[in-house]
Amino acid sequence: MSAPRLESEATRLVLGIETSCDDTSVAVLERGTLLRAHLIAAQDVHKIYGGVVPELASRAHLELLPRLFERALAEARVAPSDLTAIAVTCAPGLVGSLVVGVAFAKALGLGLAIPVVGVNHIEAHLHAAALERGPSPEPAVALVVSGGHSELVEVSGFRRYRWLGCTRDDAAGEAYDKVAKLLGLGFPGGPLIDALAERGRPDAFAFPRPMLESRDLDFSFSGLKTAVAQALGPHGAPPHSERLLTDVAASFQAAVVDTLVGKTMAAVAATGARAVNLGGGVACNRELRRRLEAACAARGVVLRVPSPRLCADNAAMIALVGAWQLEGGVKPDPELDAAASLEDSGLPVIAADAS
């Protein structure tokens, strides 16, 4: 992967900050390779509501971020004055959560007189595997799947991207959470359904594979969620039997994985990609990993999957991409602000059509 060589003073010790949704994360990265510290704090308060409550997420970031910053510096064995730059997630995400991280980074950067750069965390997911696996073959197809995103992107190098497809409604992770709620399970739903699916029959219910036969590379999971709701209708409200839970979970997961793998391999065929880079919280799904590994092996392409800690929203990948930006000549923006949507971010990170 043609990423910048990190030789400037600014990239020597980069602090990463991630607060795009409900995880607060801080990392200290040395020269883009040595992770001196990496902390992630989950916000358990959302479990009782069955989903992320934006106002509560913002308040939790306000409480957690200063403490995580202090702990990260202690773990890295550095002082604030040792930091040479700050990279912070500024888009996309929950705007209140993003504002907390951006404001903290800008204030800290001003106090330490070091540069602050904004990072789009979708771009960071494209490169998260590089922290553990080094440079990626090019071109690559990146599949980013999380609670808010299902994206396919062609990656020809750092900041050389072509948007291939995205979800038209629910993201894959969002569908997992909604189906988990229908089944009377907790939040987040992905790990719970993945565990149940291991004991169920993937052919017990004939759920649709949305848009799998379409000529484009977009996704749609809203109809699949509706199909699950209709299948559960005759069985009444939760709690359900163990057999019904495991069979619905397995059949639903099979539909999601079939769709994600099918679209990803279609993207590989269309682009001639030499690698598939997987990222986002749903990348932790065991069946998705197994199926993608088999499909990539059959086609002779490399599958690059970060460890689970680097699949979720995390500050390590933010620090990495921030360091690459600084080395590549990106100038810190004193007017840096948060943007909730990818389209409104104003960042030249993903071209809609670079052909």
How does DSSP classify residue 205? S
111 annotated to a ligand binding site: no
How does DSSP classify residue 219? B
Q: Which residues contact 231 (CB under 8 A, 6 or more apart)?
A: 205, 207, 248
148 annotated to a ligand binding site: yes
**Residue 87 contacts residue 14 (beta carbons within 8 Å):** yes
344 annotated to a ligand binding site: no
> What is the phi-psi region of residue 177: left when phi exceeds 0, alpha when psi lies from -120 to 50, beta otherwise?
alpha
Rg, the chain, Cα only? 20
14 annotated to a ligand binding site: no
Q: Which helix (H) or strand (E) holds 326?
A: helix 315-327
145 annotated to a ligand binding site: yes
190 annotated to a ligand binding site: yes
Separation between Cα atoms, residue 248 and residue 254, nearest integer Å: 10
46 annotated to a ligand binding site: no
Q: Which residues contact 300 (CB under 8 A, 6 or more apart)?
A: none
Separation between Cα atoms, residue 278 and residue 305, nearest integer Å: 5
Strand order in the sheet with 116-120: 34-42, 23-30, 13-18, 85-91, 116-120
285 annotated to a ligand binding site: yes
147 annotated to a ligand binding site: yes
8 annotated to a ligand binding site: no
Residue 8: Cβ-neighbour burial (10 angstroms; 0-12, 13-18, 19+): middle
Give the residue numbers of the binding site for Fe cation: 121, 125, 313
Give the residue numbers of the binding site: 121, 125, 144-148, 177, 190, 194, 285, 313
Give the residue numbers of the binding site for substrate: 144-148, 177, 190, 194, 285
